[in-house]
Structure 1
Amino acid sequence: MGNLKSKLSENELTIGTWVTINHPAVIEILSSAGFEWITLDIEHSAINIESVQNLLGHIQGNGMEGLVRVSKNEEVIIKRVMDAGADGVIVPMVKNREEAQKAVSYVKYPPIGKRGVGLSRAQKYGTDFDGYKEWTNNESVVIAQIEHIEAVNNLEEILTTDGIDGTIVGPYDLSASMGHPGEYHREDVKEALQKVVHKTQELNKPLGFHVVESEYSELRKRIKQGYNFLAFSLDFFFLGDKAREEMTKFKNEFSL
């Protein structure tokens, strides 16, 4: 069993991050920080399918597992990133059991799912389809992203869908679905998040959250709240926040 799959099944703490910048150097730099996995975001970035395959090679070659947050819960894009060699997918805007079942079916081959057969990097270009078929039906990771209040209300049926390994909260879109985009510190959004925590822990499932901020204090806060599948910030915040922080010190000292 893959390390991430195993940790999810055992509710163990695992920390990854998010990549939107289409360059292998970003992967190599982040690999030195100790992340266990990296998610390539192709929903809100300019990363295309060709780049997904290239970047996955760099992620896995640097000892991490590679997930892809796909653009939508759709058969073609999911099987393409899996054929490119992804260890799993994060599927956005899953709101109920039916949508969760669809996500699983697009990743897994029959008789578990409905994924069509193609030969590419994942299948070692046709030399190990049988091995990959067994791997994908038993070891691939399927994460449902909880980013709509409807998903919060239907959380139990999503969590108990066969083949769903875990969920991860997208705080920006969750708050947007409640009429307040980006305002995830509002009390009503906090209440919705607490419902997610309670229901997930009640069912003994892994509890995921994307900590957007690049400060360790925010990561630590979520760990203390019980989250154990955590995406810690993303590439451009790690880059930009540090640059802004240090330049602010400079400007303050020299009154620029």
Structure 2
Amino acid sequence: MCQIESEEGVKNVNEIIAVDGMDCVMMGPRDLSASLGILNDPANPKLKSVMRMAEKAVLDSDPANGGAYLAGMATAQDKALDLKARGYHVVLGSTDVSLYKKAVVDEVNAFKA
């Protein structure tokens, strides 16, 4: 499994999928937005367009014939059901940043108690 999180990764998605043993490709929209110079603009049409290009390439690869599964993270902009509707095979219910934030907030609250 790998994560596509840069413009270069999107440009090379077909080559990445073709790597022997590459069974799953995860999209990284936040890092991809940073790579495109539009961090903190998750609704930007350029990001959406680039994401769709990469998603299509992965979905067209067909895991049953040596291609890869498509994975992603539910976000405020792309809910789990949105990703499912676009064909994602695997959807994480949260992002790493939000999980870290929750852990830190829980620790601070426990300390205050």
C-alpha contact 2:55 2:70 (8 A) present in aligned 1: yes
Deviation per residue, 1:9-46 (Å, 9 max, x gap) = xxxxxxxxxxxxxxxxxxxxxxxxxxxxxxxxxxxxxx
Residue 230 of structure 1: aligned partner: 91
Within 5 Å, which residues of 2 pair with 1:1-256? 143-204=1-62, 205-213=68-76, 218-234=79-95, 235=99
Distance 2:42 2:4 in 1: 13
Output the amino acid matched with 2:79: E
Distance 1:203 1:165 in 2: 10
Deviation per residue, 1:55-114 (Å, 9 max, x gap) = xxxxxxxxxxxxxxxxxxxxxxxxxxxxxxxxxxxxxxxxxxxxxxxxxxxxxxxxxxxx
Distance 1:212 1:172 in 2: 10
Output the amino acid matched with 1:227: Y
Output the amino acid matched with 1:209: G
TM-score, normalised via structure 2 length: 0.74
Q: Which has the larger radius of gyration?
A: 1
List structure 1 runs of 4+ shifted beyond 4 angstroms.
236-239
Output the amino acid matched with 1:232: G
Where does structure 1 lack aligned partners over 5 or more consecutive residues?
1-142, 240-256
SS of residue in 2 equivalent to 1:200:
helix
Q: Give the C-alpha shift of residue 191 in structure 1.
A: 0.5
SS of residue in 2 equivalent to 1:168:
strand
SS of residue in 2 equivalent to 1:183:
coil
Distance 1:187 1:228 in 2: 24
Distance 2:20 2:40 in 1: 31
- RMSD over equivalenced CA pairs, Å: 2.3
Distance 2:101 2:88 in 1: 21
C-alpha contact 1:175 1:183 (8 A) present in aligned 2: yes
Q: Give the C-alpha shift of residue 190 in structure 1.
A: 0.5
Distance 1:237 1:207 in 2: 26
